[in-house]
């Protein structure tokens, strides 16, 4: 009961609720933050969590809670609003017939979320997405929709998502969906400006092996990174398929990156693709054991020695 009270159900337009009766959209909250945000509009930075196969919208709790603690530490100078989609725990890894429907619903959710900030001084024009497992694939599938505008997403982080191929190709819906998504991303690699990070669970993830989580090769030339959790600085551990969403070390790394991505002028996630890649590279790949600096100064000059 306590967990349910933490999340506020977002009222969807009647037509949308009628078209997708099994799906819902929630805003995560706790304590005074939850009380304050019972009344809209919102003032933070929107992040949308998409659960995977048989996943729950409540899985956003781990990262949402850590983000709230971090915002409290800086006296809410910046804060993130974590939304989560309830896909009714559908088994999309076993039956792919719902994947297209989920993708279209997420598109409508993004538009609904952005309307919640209408009239605010620093209103966002896009959302960041975190997708667990098949939720990450649904997020990538958004770009294949006819009327989808790519600039509605400013960042995509996928956790243990089998991007390359389905773990079990049980029906043609799954295989066709994969073919459509991957063909689109490969053929349009030069035009896809979406900064994307794929995090694999490593050897403990028996459901999705790390080889399946790598993004299409062509996209590495532009704005994509693929890592394994056991190689992520300050994380250094392998996670199983479920615990990747609540692994504290990994969620801390993700939240640190989110806060470093904020543009001080717009109070939203930066639109600069170079800075986005630089921040993700700093936190998930190299991390020189210090705070992120956009233009790091030379510590020592060895010329003339």
Catalytic (active-site) positions:
133
CB of 167 within 8 A of CB of 131? Answer: no
Handedness of CA 10, 14, 17, 19 (dihedral sign): negative
What number of helices (H) and strands (E) belong to the chain? Answer: 9, 10
Count other Cβ atoms within 10 Å, centred on residue 210.
Answer: 21
Buried b vs exposed e over 135-159: b needs ≥16 C-beta within 10 Å?
bbbbbbbbbbeeebeeebbbbbbbb
What are the DSSP calls for 143-185, one per residue?
GGSTT--GGGEEEEEEES---SS-SS--SHHHHHHHHHHHHHH
């Amino acid at each position: 009961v306590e967990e349910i009270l933490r999340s506020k159900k977002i009222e969807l337009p009647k037509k949308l609720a009628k078209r997708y009766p099994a799906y819902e959209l929630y805003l995560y909250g706790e304590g005074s933050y939850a009380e304050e945000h019972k009344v809209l509009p919102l003032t933070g930075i929107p992040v949308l969590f998409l659960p995977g196969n048989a996943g729950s919208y409540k899985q956003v709790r781990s990262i949402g809670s850590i983000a709230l603690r971090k915002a409290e530490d800086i006296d809410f100078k910046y804060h993130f609003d974590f939304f989560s989609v309830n896909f009714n725990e559908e088994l999309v890894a076993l039956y792919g017939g719902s994947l297209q429907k989920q993708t279209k619903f997420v598109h409508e959710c993004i538009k609904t979320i952005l309307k919640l900030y209408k009239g605010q001084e620093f209103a966002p024009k896009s959302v960041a997405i975190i997708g667990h497992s098949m939720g990450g694939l649904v997020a990538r599938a958004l770009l294949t929709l006819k009327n989808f505008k790519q600039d509605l997403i400013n960042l995509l982080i996928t956790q243990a998502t089998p991007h390359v191929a389905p773990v079990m190709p049980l029906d043609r819906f799954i295989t066709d969906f994969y073919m459509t998504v991957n063909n689109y991303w490969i053929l349009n690699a030069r035009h896809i400006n979406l900064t994307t990070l794929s995090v694999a669970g490593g050897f403990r993830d028996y459901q999705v092996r790390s080889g399946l989580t790598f993004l299409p090769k062509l996209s590495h030339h532009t704005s994509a990174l693929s890592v394994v959790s056991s190689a992520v600085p300050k994380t250094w551990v392998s996670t199983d398929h479920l615990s990747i969403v609540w692994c504290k070390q990994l969620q801390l790394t993700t939240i640190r990156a989110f806060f470093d991505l904020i543009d001080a002028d717009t109070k939203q996630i930066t639109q600069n693709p170079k800075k986005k890649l630089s921040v993700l590279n700093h936190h998930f790949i190299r991390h020189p054991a210090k705070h992120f600096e956009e233009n790091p100064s030379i510590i020592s000059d060895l010329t003339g020695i």
